[in-house]
Structure 1
Amino acid sequence: MSSPDNPSAVNPLPPAVVALFLIIMGIELAFSLGARGIVGGPEAVGWRLSAIQTYAFSGDIFDWMWTNNHWPFEHLMRFVTYPFVHVSFTQALFVSVFVLAMGKMVGEVFGGAAMMLIFVASGIGGALAYAVLLNEPFPLIGGFPAVYGLIGAFTYLLWHNLSLVGANQSRAFTLIAFLMGVQLLFGLLFGGQKDWVADLAGFATGFGLSFFVAPGGWQRIRRRMQHD
């Protein structure tokens, strides 16, 4: 039991962060247990593949919808569902760790609703960039574009705080520069998809959206527009 004189050593996570973590890892746990035959019976072995076919984002499907001007819900939902389906337990675990770390810092400042908005919108922004800028036959799977949106929001917090003390604001982009550098290096060494485009677009979406959803952000934008 904690009190003002005996604070807890660990700050509680915002409920929205806990919810995201439980959803991501709950889905992954079902896939992993199903693949081992522990739950779901024989058909559970194919749960992951079935989920990828149904919920992953496909650039080819997006091109078909655009060409035919036909937007069925079963394909539109892929913009929102693909961050919750992962190709492996390891990928889901890394995404979950970033959700806990970045989501906590963003959620404590922005609030749970704004944090969730950034997560979802960044996933959508990443998928749009993946479809429009690339011609990849592989589906976009996993929560990294949405997580990079949270990193974008965290970068905004650093950028804003550095501006308040008159420091060099470019220092706020050190984390994203490091992460993208590592990702590009691994791509050059080992090959793979160009999903870093979706990650970078997710980051840009999260950073840009933060100007509006940060505490007092919309009021600052309105004042600046009025002055201009």
Structure 2
Amino acid sequence: MSSPQTDSPVNPIPPVVVALFLAIIVIEAVFSLGTRGMIGGPEAVGWRQGAIQDYGFNAEIFGWMLQNGVWPLEHVKRFVTYVFVHGSFTHALFAGVMLLALGKFVGEVFSQWATLLLFMTSAIAGAAVFGLVAPEPPWLIGAFPGVYGLIGGFTYLLWLRLGQMGENQARAFSLIGILMVLQLIFGLLFGSNSTWLADVSGFGFGFLLSFFLAPGGWAKIRARIRHR
């Protein structure tokens, strides 16, 4: 048994989640300090815009790659790198806080690699759907599609728990429902764009992927297939 003196009253945040958070915040700190002229000199003002051009996901570039069947690494990398570039400090802060909160919950059940895979593949799926169906704007940046993938994992765990308790499993989707309502309200007040498609797609992919990534999930699926 562990000693009471060494037990923490708060479960630590999984290291992979902390690493993702630090990557987002450090990059944003560089952009913010550069914009304020505190580092980098006069050219630092354009660092954020340059990063968006070089590392943001672009639906038009994606369409060009699909049409021509050409997949240069300098553009394929955008499926991953766009997650770490944000439009403002507030944008990065909200994404980072949600990453910590959802990542802590999911990471306490999922393994380290499964949590990372859930986040990144949800972000990739969100970008792909955005690139296929979003009319405008062409640019997608920020960690929210990956964060929504973690919300999908959170929803799966809650859905599973409610089923075990014999309660209404539809309640598990309350969080994503609230977030979608808030997005609608903000869109009506301040104008909206098609980036919400990436968020919703990230959530859906994260929820479905959790059936495989959750502890024992793949074994359960194989058992069901063999039983049938």
TM tier, shorter chain? Answer: over 0.9
Alignment of 1:93-172 (within 5 A): 93-172=93-172
Is the CA contact (8 Å cut-off) linking 2:137 and 2:194 kept in structure 1? no
How far apart are 1:38 and its partner, in Å?
1.3
Superposed, 1:1-228 pairs within 5 Å as 4-6=3-5, 7-228=7-228
Q: CA deviation at 1:10?
A: 2.5
Structure 1 CA distance for aligned equivalents of residues 196 and 46 of structure 2 = 28
C-alpha distance in 2, partners of 1:34/1:140?
Answer: 22
- Residue type at the aligned position of 1:12: P
Across the two proteins, how many residue pairs are aligned to each other? Answer: 226
Runs of 5+ in structure 2 lacking a partner? Answer: none
How far, CA to CA, are the matches of 1:191 and 1:43 in structure 2? 31
* Cα-to-partner distance string for 1:166-193 (whole Å, 9 max, x where unaligned): 1111000000000011102221232121
* Alpha-carbon shift at residue 101 of structure 1 (Å): 0.3
| Counterpart contact for 1:156–1:172, Cα < 8 Å | yes
User: Does the 8 Å contact 1:162/1:169 carry over to 2?
Assistant: yes
Deviations 1:178-223 (A, max 9, x none): 0011102221232121211110000011101100010000001001
Partner SS state of residue 108, structure 2: helix
Cα distance between partner residues in 1 of 2:109 and 2:200: 23
Listed one character per residue, the Cα deviations across residues 2-58 of structure 1 (whole Å, up to 9, x for unaligned) are x62233233211110110110000000000111111112222111101000001111
Preserved CA contact (<8 Å) 2:118 2:150: yes
Task: Give yes or no for contact 1:60–1:137 (8 Å, CA) kept in 2.
Answer: no
Given residue 196 of structure 2, which amino acid in structure 1 is its aligned partner? Answer: W
Q: Which letter does structure 1 place at the counterpart of 2:50?
A: S
Rounded Cα–Cα distance in structure 2 between residues aligned with 1:160 and 1:25: 33
- Aligned-partner Cα distance in 1 for 2:134–2:153: 25
How far apart are the structure 2 equivalents of 1:206 and 1:50? 30
**CA offsets, 1:93-124, max 9 Å, x none?**
00000111000111111021111101100101
Mapped contact 2:34–2:47 kept (Cα < 8 A): yes
Q: Judge which range, 32-41 or 5-14, deviates more.
A: 5-14
Q: Tell me which amino acid in the other structure corresponds to 2:30.
A: A
Runs of 4+ with >4 A deviation = none
Amino acid at match of 1:165: M
Amino acid of the structure 2 residue aligned with 1:215: P
Q: Is the 1:55–1:82 Cα contact (8 Å) retained in structure 2?
A: yes
With normalisation by structure 1, the TM-score equals 0.96
How far did residue 137 of structure 1 move? 3.3
Question: In 1, are the aligned partners of 2:137 and 2:193 still within 8 Å (CA)?
Answer: no
Contact 1:14 1:112 in 2 (8 A): yes
Distance 2:167 2:15 in 1: 33
